[in-house]
Amino acid sequence: MAQREPGLEAGAKAVKAVLHARRGHAALVDNIDGIVWEADPSFRFVFVSKQAERLLGYPVERWLEEPQFWVDHLHPEDRHWAPDFCMSAVQQCLPHEFEYRMLAADGRTVWLRDIVTVQSEEGRARRLHGIMVDVTEQRSAQERLEHTVSLLEATLDSTADGLLVVDRDGRVTAYNRQFKRLWGLSTMQDCMQDAALLNKLREQIKDPEPFLARLRALYETPEQESFDVIELQDGRVLERYSLPQWRRGVITGRVWSFRDITERVRAGRVQARLLEEAHEAIRVRDDFLTIAAHELKTPLTPLRLQLELMKRAMTAKEPVPEERVDKALAQVHRLTALINDLVDATSVEAGRLKLRRAPVSLHELAREACSDFRSISPEHAFTCELPPENLQVLGDRDRLFQVLANLLENAIKYSPMGGAVHVTVSRAQDNAVLTVTDAGIGIPEEEQARLFERFFRARNAPVSGFGGLGLGLYICRDIVEQHDGHIWVESELGQGSVFHVSLPLLPPRDAEE
């Protein structure tokens, strides 16, 4: 017995050491942050660490006693694919890793990452070893991140601005749909480097060199913010803003935003034009009131003088000279003409200027006008050039005479030193053309387009030297256009003016009738 004691003692120590090692191994396994398990190829567990109960709330015994425990406790949405995936890998004796959900005893859904190795003999699986790691928090964080990213993408794509993000190496890291739409880019596949992208953008910019110069300056000072307005070839206008992208105090790239302000710019231009037109209308009104006051007052002063002189003569029972009566009547006629112009201008503006149409001989009209004005202004030499054929138009004779008379009055008025006034009647295809030429002060070229506007007076025609309300040519234009005709002027400052009136000719048969 004494001889056997050392052997028994050694064996006992060995058994004790093995038990201690197993307890240490079990403790180590139970302390692993995951479920360590072992199962046969049909997924029946033969070992499960105590973490299983802590993670999912089921006793370890249930894992070992229920043959379909794993499959039965899979999440319904994973039950149709997870076993098939695992079985396919086991049949090929391949290690595999996958994530799925299990239902905990308290009803929670727990995401697990299962890392599985397959022990095989002669190409057949014999044992499965694995560890299930709880990744629920990581999954929740990933879902929150994906939700945030999705929300950010939706926000960027719904904004009216085109956005572009470029890193320090010129690589495009982000952009939204509006950026592609603003620049007409169907894809960004070939534009993920800023140099390639700029080549595409510069083709659309109206004046690309200043734009590119500002970009180069911005890249040399990356900490600067920048604002610019870009006009494109198609007429659109973009507002560009750029600022550096910072991360932990270091510039990592640059954010660019582009906004289409075309409508705003157009509205601004329209507003500026309307404001300018309003100021011009006020100026024209003020000029008109000044001119009207002057023009209406001008005939009243001599008229009053002549009437007072006639009253004195009548009081003294002296004869009234006929000359004074004529002078008074002349001022009345002048005042009447001014009032008629105002009435006609109002009718033109309201579209109420009516015509009484009948065949009109332009030969007779020109001869009569020249004859009348020779007596009115003997210091001017009036000539009348007529073609062999008698040109007739369908129109209102009184109104057409008013047009010709107005042109002749202007010729006299703006030729204060006398000179030749030439009236011509000619034919241009199916139109008759009345032309009045003078050698007066002329009209500045920049003001000729506005000459037929209401109340307009050329700047070189001061009130003190040349009377009138600025309505004559405005009325003439309306009369001519109501005859389906056209009136225009050719003039050079200091060299006189040529006014043309084109009217449709009356067909020969109608002219004969």
The confidence band for 499, taking pLDDT boundaries of 50, 70 and 90, is: very high
* 208 C-beta neighbours (distance < 10 Å), count: 15
DSSP class of 107 = S
Whether 290 has a pLDDT exceeding 50, the answer reads yes
Q: What type of residue sits at position 111?
A: W
- pLDDT of the residue at 464: 43
Whether 413 has a pLDDT exceeding 50, the answer reads yes
**Overall average pLDDT of the 425-443 stretch:** 92
Residue with more model confidence, 338 or 411:
411
Domains of the chain: 32-138 (3.30.450.20), 156-260 (3.30.450.20), 266-347 (1.10.287.130), 354-512 (3.30.565.10)
Whether 303 has a pLDDT exceeding 70, the answer reads yes
Lowest mean pLDDT among 7-11, 165-169, 449-453, 484-488: 7-11
Lowest mean pLDDT among 36-50, 242-256, 276-290, 388-402: 276-290
- pLDDT of the residue at 459: 58
- Contact, 63 vs 46, CB < 8 A? no
Whether 121 has a pLDDT exceeding 60, the answer reads yes
Whether 347 has a pLDDT exceeding 80, the answer reads no
- pLDDT of the residue at 512: 54
- pLDDT of the residue at 460: 52
**Overall average pLDDT of the 363-375 stretch:** 89
**Overall average pLDDT of the 100-129 stretch:** 94
**Residue that the structure tokens 């603003």 belong to:** 182
**Overall average pLDDT of the 439-462 stretch:** 78
- pLDDT of the residue at 461: 56
Whether 15 has a pLDDT exceeding 60, the answer reads no
- Contact, 109 vs 134, CB < 8 A? no
- pLDDT of the residue at 151: 81
- pLDDT of the residue at 52: 92
**Overall average pLDDT of the 335-361 stretch:** 75
- In Å, how far are 220, 252, 265, 441 from 216, measured between CA atoms? 6, 17, 27, 56
N-to-C CA span, the chain: 166
> What span, in angstroms and rounded, lies between the C-alpha atoms of 29 and 52?
11
- pLDDT of the residue at 467: 52
- Contact, 407 vs 462, CB < 8 A? no
Token pair belonging to 493: 């400052």
pTM above 0.85, yes or no: no
> What span, in angstroms and rounded, lies between the C-alpha atoms of 501 and 425?
10
- pLDDT of the residue at 17: 53
Whether 291 has a pLDDT exceeding 70, the answer reads no
Whether 355 has a pLDDT exceeding 60, the answer reads yes
Q: What type of residue sits at position 1?
A: M
Angle at 471 between CA 467 and CA 472, to 5 degrees: 80
Whether 471 has a pLDDT exceeding 80, the answer reads no
Lowest mean pLDDT among 14-23, 75-84, 201-210: 14-23
- pLDDT of the residue at 445: 87
**Overall average pLDDT of the 333-356 stretch:** 71
Cα 234 → chain centroid: 11
- pLDDT of the residue at 1: 41
- Torsion of the alpha carbons at 245, 250, 253 and 259, rounded to the nearest 10: 20
Average pLDDT, the chain: 84
DSSP class of 450 = G
Lowest mean pLDDT among 111-120, 372-381, 504-513: 504-513
> What span, in angstroms and rounded, lies between the C-alpha atoms of 269 and 204?
22
Most confident of 5-9, 56-60, 315-319: 56-60
